[in-house]
Structure 1
Amino acid sequence: MNDPDVHIFVYAADEEYDAIQSCFANHGKVTRLSGSSENDTVLFQQDSVLFIDPTTQEGMRLYSSAMRRESSPGMVIGIAGPESMEEIMVRTHGNMIDYLPKPITPMSMKMVRRRIGYLLDLHRRIRKLESGKNSGNQKRTMEQVETERFIAVRQIVERISVFINQIASTVQGGIQYFNELQYFVSIHDIHCRVIAANPTYHKYLGNRINQDSWGIYTGHHGQKENSPVYHCIETGDVLDSRATVQYQSGAKVPVIVHTAPIYNNDGEVDLVLEVFAGTKEIERLSQEIRTTQQRYEQLFDAVPSKVVVLDRRFRITAENRQFRKDFGKHLGDHFFDILRPGNFPAYQDPITLTMKYGLPQQGEMVLSDSDGAQYNMMTWTSPIKTPTGKLVQVIAILGDVTELRRLQTDLSRLGLMISTISHDLKGSLTGLDAGLYLIDKGFYRNRPAQIEEGLDVAQLMVDRIRKMVFDILYSSKERELELEVVDVHDFAEDIAANVENRIRAAMIEFHCVFEENPGEIHADVGLLRSSLMNILDNAIEACIEDTEGKKSTIDFRVKREDHMVLFEIRDNGSGMNVEEKGRIFDLFYSSKGRKGTGLGLYITRKAIQKHGGTIAVFSQPGQGTKFEVRLPLPKG
């Protein structure tokens, strides 16, 4: 076909339009339709061709508008995927002369171009006939038209076979089904005669061209009025039915028959497409597919890692048991709505890269769920492609290494803690040596004041070493609580007396507000005292580290709240940011760097929880910190 008078109109996506433009660049003029109201001004000609994707609402509207005009296009070709063909045939009443399958291939485009050229030549000869040729020429031309019509029908059968092969090459999970199944395809006229059939039809049923459509059936469908083709002509609908056909070998085979009408330009049924396949073969292959799918699902669920399959829009199309166990059922949901990546630049994570380039990827992703919990996931991704190389899905295997990363972090913190403890122990021993030196010199020179100073220094160093050893022992080994009845008011006053001198020595104001009779609790006195003293020690250090120059204060309040006793310790020191506040109770974590062991608050929370209580912290940088410890009062 090489005719500059042919005008090609196209309403389709960019990819399809580019393929059509490239194919017809040297064979006519190509105009793209936008689908807006301005298309109403388009004047189609007798030899114009309209390529249109009617699967969209705008495409169907444009098609209906074009067919209602006096200057309608000479021929219309639908652009659709295999799954949409039957629906389009019904919606357009078979008025499209051909269908261009997605994705468009050079071979399918070449076949359509040849068919357009053939039909355009046929249309022109018919117009010449109508313009006044003599009766002899008219008779010969009509015979030629009938012959060419028969050839065109055969081309339709061939195109359907190509279309079925297209389905076989793109459908997921059903490739074996389409490859093994024998499809019988035939075209029938309105007199219920076979006018074309595919090779499979001829192989098993013989050459039945120009014979009755019902002649292959036995039983009820073996009569014209009961045959599938006759019913399709009478109703004008796409129909499905079950029947029994008899091969030329004499074998009788139950089949599922699909019939669809093909309409002429006047909207009348002109031909009938009949397609059928054996039900036993369908059932056998369906059972094989079900069995294979069950085995696949068992293997899929047996994988100890989390496995998901995503489509091109990142929607979850399959998930294994481990993924459902940890994150729930999310079929159809967007993957990144369930787990959000936090350690990769935008669109640079392994899943997105595999979607983009179609290549396997791997890497560690930090993912956060809807509750804010973070997971370290080693992620391996692989593309799932059709036999033609088109990427349709991505499989992602997620290995949870959160505990491993936490253990690595804990080990590094443990090393820092040991280093810190060694440093503190060395300093305490040096201080103890200094205290002993003062005592020795005091005895030698008979200076009681120096002896007392040495004893104070030695006692302070011993207390520091004792606390350090106590923290290490308590963090590494569980012990039972030694409970006794404790008067809360007296207990709070004892704690305040123990820390008051140290607080005031650091030039910090200390305010105590204790309710007169908050009640009694059952507690391990030594453990609980150590826990509250640890919070007060942290408050002292926060005030000392504050460099803003404001007057430092620490408030210690105790009161009764319903069936609980509240211990509140507040300072106006340096405060903490969100990250520090979220980690201060973690083992080996210290906001003081090398100055802390990372054990104090971990042990404090553990001790309070063993008493059946709770601890909460409220803090903002530069505005200080407040700890709230609640312990239950005895019932009754």
Structure 2
Amino acid sequence: MSNKKLLLVDDEEGIRRFLGLTLMDLGYEVETAENGEAALKVVEKVAPAIILTDIKMPRMDGIELLKAVKTDYPHIEVIMLTGHGDLDLAIESLKSEAADFITKPIDDQVLEISLNRVMEKIELKEKLREHTENLERLVEEKTQRIIELERQNAACQVVEGLSEALSSAAHEVETGSGLFNELPCLVSIHNRYLEIVAANELLKERLGEVVGKNSFDIYSDRESAGNACPVQLTFQTGKGQRSKETFIGRDGGEIPVTVYTAPIPNKDGDIELVLDISVDMTELKRLNDELLETQYKFQRLFDEAPCYISVQNPDYTIAEVNRRFKEDFNEPLGAPCYASYKHREHPCEECPVQRTFKDGKTHQTETVVTTKNGEQKNMLVWSAPIRNAYGEIKQVMEMSTDITEIRRLQDHLTSLGFMLGSMSHGVKGMLTALDGGIYRLESGLRKNDQERVGEAAVVLKNIVGRVKKMVLDILYYAKSREIEVETVPAGHFLRDTAALIVPKAAAADVKFNMDIPEEMGSIEVDSSSMSAAIVNFLENGVDACEYKKPDHEYFINVSARDLGEKIELTISDNGAGMDRETRDKIFTLFFSSKGKRGTGIGLFISNQTIEQHGGSITVESEPGKGTTFTITLPRKVELKKQTPLSQCS
């Protein structure tokens, strides 16, 4: 802050201008303001040393300005300008710590004298502040010096006390009495010639008579003074040592110890003796070995458990997994569980791990996961809390058991019951129609009406065919059966099958595009089951385009190409699409992405049919962009004997 900065405050512009010139002639840097509020803003910017202000002003008068300045800037000196009739206000300003007041009209000599007095006051305050700071610094320096001397004195006293204590300890060991003979430690005293001059009873009991031996003789891995032992290092460095060593016992066995050494100086400060206090670590080593063995045992149990085990943190990240988990899934450590083996972007609903974190109880659920090899597995999942010593849940263990084979048996039996139940109504209707056909046949025969007889025969033939198909379906679900293949023209078979979806696509306003050559050679298929499987994929494509976006054209493309020994059929749509989790589960029995409109049976059966033909299916899909099924079929089917349901395990 410059002592020559001055703020002139007056509501009359003429006074500010002419008085300002006078002040500048006196050597001051002058700033002006028309009232108290404007003056406070100037103070914040320029920080003047002196404020020269009129008392009577609009908005904020001089008295209010004085009080505000002294509250926030007590170091700024304020001189009041007042008329003859404002003497009482001038006196009041002095009570509020104004430096001086000058009456109007202002005499230049009086103004200069008043300013000089104020400047002397400011300079005096500045010098006083400097002297005060110097005095405080001097006091601080002297205080630190006193503290340092006191610390040195205390350190000397501590050293003297330790020396006396160590000397006393050496005397106790030498005389065989005192505290060191009662401690459960191995205590010995060594001289500067690296000789053991004293030992407590416990050391003699464990190591034998060692007094008179070399300091390094009691160690199993020290053969001479050239291989420095802790005692020798203490004499060399003058400092105590701490190390893990091995003593040779009375019977020649090894005793693991932790050695602590301390120098014992004489009156001249030279190291005369070294005190060696060693703690027998035999029991600790045994306990440590047992702990390591237990840890290894539990790690083996953890790794060899016939299930997938993971330990998860509250944020879903995986902290640890067992060996089997690592073998079947990508490296999961640090990744969220739902992304690692569920292929989801968000946590699962009703996650058992998070439920366990919330209530501390065990929870169970069932799900389908995909291994790193693309194999789908049905898993029964259990969660259990892992608590710390205070009973707080820090992690949760998730154990997943592979129940794929059990689920396959259950699915087969469930599908059989489901199909029998759903077909019972159809059988009832067909029997009713069969009765009607027989009635029409008998009526035609009685009346010798050949036309009526012919119509009845057509009806009966149609109904019998439907009954036959239903019975075959029931047999298909009731037991595994071999497919009945026949050689058919591949192009014609695929074109005729694809054409079956045309009416449904047209009704749904979905454009149907087919690119299947008529001549593609022959192929061996069970035409009935394969046709049903392909139609199932086509119908799913139409259903995927059901929820239409405005001004968006939906289509289904069907194409086929000759791969030599195989034929590839591609079915694609630009409908709703699927996420990764849905793609992994679409061939699971009773899984449906259609909600109540789907049974979850169609794609399961279609997948089985293609596998029976020795074929394969790949699925590519993305939400909002559509789905592509690629079906690869061999031209010649190698029939495999199916395993009866009763022999499945």
TM-score by length of 1: 0.50
Quick one: structure 1 residues 476 and 263, their matched pair in 2 at CA, closer, same or farther if it must change by over 3 Å? farther
User: Which of structures 1 and 2 has the bigger CA Rg?
Assistant: 2
Distance 1:263 1:462, change over 3 A: farther
- Say if 1:231 and 1:423 are closer, same or farther in 2 by CA, change over 3 A: same
Inter-partner Cα distance in structure 2 for 1:631 and 1:443: 50
- CA deviation digits over 1:48-84, x for unaligned, max 9? 9xxxxxxxxxxxxxxxxxxxxx98998xxxxxxxxxx
- Map residues 38-437 of structure 1 onto 2, 5 A cutoff: 127=153, 146-147=160-161, 150=164, 184=186, 228-235=230-237, 241-244=245-248, 254-256=254-256, 258-259=258-259, 274-276=276-278, 304=306, 336=337, 342-344=348-350, 348-350=354-356, 352=357, 361-364=361-364, 371=372, 375-383=379-387, 385=389, 396=397, 398-400=399-401, 402-403=403-404, 416-429=418-431
Counterpart Cα distance in 1 of 2:401 and 2:225? 67
- SS of 1:612's equivalent in the other structure is coil
SS at match of 1:587: coil
Does the CA contact (< 8 Å) of 2:166 and 2:275 recur in 1?
A: no
What whole-Å deviation, never above 9, does each CA across 1:165-215 have from its counterpart, x for those lacking one? xxxxxxxxxxxxxxxx97536798989899999996698699x9xx99967
Q: Is the 8 A contact 1:565 1:632 kept in 2?
A: yes
Change (3 A) 1:293 1:543: closer
Does the CA-based 8 Å contact 1:192-1:212 persist in structure 2? Answer: no
Q: Partner of 1:609 in structure 2?
A: 611
> Displacement of 1:378 after TM fit?
1.1
Once residues 507 and 311 of structure 1 are traced to their aligned partners in structure 2, the CA distance between those partners, rounded to angstroms, is 50
1:152-177 deviation line (CA, Å, top 9, x unaligned): 9999xxxxxxxxxxxxxxxxxxxxxx
Q: Which runs of 5+ in 1 are unaligned?
A: 1-44, 49-69, 75-122, 131-141, 156-180, 355-359
Deviation at 1:377, TM superposition (A): 1.5
Determine the structure 1 residue equivalent to 2:631.
Answer: 629
Question: Counterparts of 2:247 and 2:150 in 1: how far apart (Å)?
Answer: 43
For residue 633 of structure 2, give the secondary structure of its aligned residue in structure 1. Answer: strand
Distance 2:507 2:254 in 1: 101
Q: Is contact 2:190–2:197 with CA below 8 Å preserved after alignment?
A: yes
C-alpha separation between the residues in 2 aligned to 1:203 and 1:311?
52
Per the alignment, in what secondary structure is the counterpart of residue 233 of structure 1? Answer: helix
Q: Distance in 2 between matches of 1:334 and 1:271?
A: 60
Q: Distance in 2 between matches of 1:408 and 1:476?
A: 12
User: What amino acid maps onto 1:604 in structure 2?
Assistant: S
Q: 1:564 maps to which residue?
A: 566
Would the alpha carbon gap of residues 128 and 496 (structure 1) be closer, same or farther in structure 2, given more than 3 Å must change? Answer: closer
Compared CA separation, residues 429 and 590, structure 1 to 2 (3 A): farther
Contact 2:416–2:474 under 8 Å retained in 1: no
1:585–1:256 distance in 2 versus 1, CA, 3 Å: closer
Q: CA deviation at 1:229?
A: 0.9
* Deviation of 1:600 (Å): 3.7
* CA distance 1:518–1:577, change in 2 (3 Å): same
Between the aligned partners of 2:147 and 2:423, the Cα distance in structure 1 is 89
Go from structure 1 to structure 2 and tell me whether the alpha carbon gap of 1:425 and 1:553 turns closer, same or farther (over 3 Å shift). farther
With the length of structure 2 as denominator, give the TM-score of the two structures.
Answer: 0.50
* Counterpart Cα distance in 1 of 2:559 and 2:420: 35
Name the aligned partner's letter for residue 560 of structure 1: D
State the Cα distance separating 1:325 from its structure 2 match.
5.8
- Residue aligned with 1:565, SS: strand
Q: What is the deviation of 1:467?
A: 3.6
Residue 517 of structure 1 aligns to a residue in which SS? coil
Rate the CA distance shift 1:625–1:217 in 2: closer, same or farther, 3 A.
closer
Distance 1:150 1:599, change over 3 A: same
Structure 1 residues 308 and 476: CA distance shift in structure 2, 3 A: same
Preserved CA contact (<8 Å) 1:513 1:556: yes
Structure 2 CA distance, aligned partners of 1:214 and 1:282?
Answer: 28
Matched to 1:400, the amino acid is: T
Task: Kindly provide the amino acid, as one letter, of the partner of residue 612 in structure 1.
Answer: G
1:342 is displaced (CA, Å) by 2.9
Change (3 A) 1:617 1:222: closer
Identity of aligned residues (%): 27
Q: Distance in 1 between matches of 2:458 and 2:624?
A: 35
AA aligned to 2:610 is I
2:481 aligns to what SS in structure 1? Answer: coil
Shift of 1:630: 2.6
Q: Distance in 2 between matches of 1:560 and 1:285?
A: 71
Note if contact 1:239-1:259 (Cα within 8 Å) is conserved in structure 2: yes
Q: 1:494/1:299 Cα in 2 relative to 1: closer, same or farther (>3 Å)?
A: closer
Aligned-partner residue type, residue 383 of structure 2: T
State the shift of 1:263 in Å. Answer: 10
Contact 1:443 1:451 (8 Å CA) reproduced = yes
Instruction: Tell whether the 8 Å contact from 2:196 to 2:214 is kept in structure 1 after alignment.
Output: no
The 8 Å contact of residues 474 and 603 in structure 1, kept in 2 or not, is answered as no
Once the two structures are superposed, residues 298-335 of structure 1 have per-residue CA deviations (whole angstroms, 9 ceiling, x without a partner) of: 666665555567899999898666556655898x8679
The alignment status of 1:532 with 2:546, answered yes or no, reads no
Aligned pair in 2 of structure 1 residues 621, 549: CA closer, same or farther (>3 Å)?
Answer: farther
Instruction: Label 1:192 to 1:619 Cα distance change in 2 as closer, same or farther (>3 A).
Output: closer
Distance change (3 Å), C-alpha of 1:305 and 1:634: closer
Q: How many residues align?
A: 464
Instruction: Give the C-alpha shift of residue 469 in structure 1.
Output: 3.3
Q: Which shows bigger deviation, 613-622 or 376-385?
A: 613-622
Partner Cα distance (2:330, 2:551) in 1 = 52
Give, in angstroms, the shift of residue 531 of structure 1. Answer: 3.2
Q: Distance in 1 between matches of 2:168 and 2:278?
A: 17
Number of the residue aligned with 2:45: none
Deviation of 1:522 (Å): 2.8
What SS does the corresponding residue of 2:562 show, helix, strand or coil? strand
The CA distance in 2 between the partners of 1:149 and 1:329, in whole Å, is 60
Asked if the contact 1:255–1:279 (Cα under 8 Å) also holds between the matched residues in 2, the reply is yes
Give the CA deviation at 1:414. Answer: 6.2
SS of residue matched to 1:364? strand
Q: Encode CA deviations 1:386-412: one digit per residue, 9 max, x unaligned.
A: xxx698986847252654678778777
Map of 1:478 onto structure 2: 480
